[in-house]
Amino acid sequence: MAVVDDEIRLGPESMGSFPGPACYGLGGEKPTLTDAFVAAGLIDPQFFLGGARQLDLEQARQAMDDGVARRKGMSIDEACRMVVERAHGMVAGVIECAGRELRKNLSDHVLFAYGGNGGLFACGVAERAGMDRVYLFSLGPVFSAFGSSVSDLSHMYERSLRVSLGDADISGLNGAIDEMRAAALRDLKAEGIGGEDAEYSLELEFSGAAHPVKSTILRFESVDELRRLAGGNGDRNLELVRMWVRKKMARPVLVEESSGAEDAFHAKTGTRTVTYGSDDAKASVYKWELLKPGNQVAGCALLVSGNSTYFVPQGWNLTMDRYGNAVLTREKSGGRPQSAREWPGSRGGPGG
């Protein structure tokens, strides 16, 4: 993060860099978006990663003061609000760009938030993009990794060869198919997965054909079978064979619970001073894991889990659904909440 020509520039240099944010205490001196979140009170420095690691609040505030506040002639709190709002605007800009490319008004869509900081960004981004609904997920911090772990596997192998449909010898084709199947079994085994119930299919590319021809046959008994697949006048040649191997993975069953009371007081652990998203600079703090289906939380609130933090600004309301996820909606009446205030713009990309 840097101030360039009196404007805030976020990233991309700090993304994944070492020593990282100043609050990590590893020697970093330049402020990052993470430092802004910590200094603004949105991330609890004493309960980062479920308490497994403590962050240095003073170093975060010092970095924000040296890198932004003094350069802009403002307080640290104002600098934090500017940086967070700038980050929201940048992500919202991506959504607006996608809407233009798709020629769709995305304001009536729902914003899905996941990833390490997704729960902190969600509502601010939605407001900037004109959206009124947000979903937060119980597996939010590992949403992408979890999806990859339960997705079906798919491998593709191909061989270039020339088989004339006037030639009775198709041993080369069968040999190529056997080689690809052996390679698939070997690769699946290397991934720790058995290949006994894997699904195999072929695509055959013939000269003069507009599109590849799909086939479930894995061994051809005669060239006549190829001729029937190729169509045409029998003057075509097989030029490429491609094998697709798919392995279906087991998927967990979603556990649905019945909705209960709206009151979420049992999950409340206290309050925290915040410099963003609240008119009175206070946020109620809840333990995410204690929230039950049907519980409702009105912003400004912070929902803290062992792996992430979810932010509900003033003007937003959260309801836990029957699968342990959260549905957030923006209030229609009244003025825009503080988290949607306009702050001086800048250019650049968000940093970590």
pLDDT, tens digit (0-9, with 9 covering 90-100), for 144-177 = 656 666 677 888 898 888 888 877 788 888 999 9
Q: How far apart are CA 216 and CA 255, in angstroms?
A: 37
Q: Where do the structural domains in the chain lie, given as residue ranges?
A: 2-87, 110-143+255-340, 152-247
189 touches 216 (CB < 8 A): no
Q: How far apart are CA 304 and CA 324, in angstroms?
A: 14
pLDDT in tens, 48-91: 777 777 899 999 999 999 988 888 889 999 999 888 888 888 88
What band does 143 get if pLDDT is binned at 50, 70 and 90?
low
CATH 3.60.70.12 fits 152-247, yes or no: no
What local confidence, expressed as pLDDT, does residue 309 receive? 87
pTM over 0.85: no
Question: H or E stretch including 36?
Answer: helix 33-39
- Token output for 284: 């109620």
Across the chain, what does the average pLDDT equal? 82
Q: What is the per-residue DSSP string for 176-202?
A: HHHHHHHHHHHHHHHTT---TT-EEEE
Q: How far apart are CA 49 and CA 39, in angstroms?
A: 17
Average pLDDT in the 173-199 region? 86
Q: Is the dihedral of CA 93, 97, 100, 105 positive or negative?
A: negative
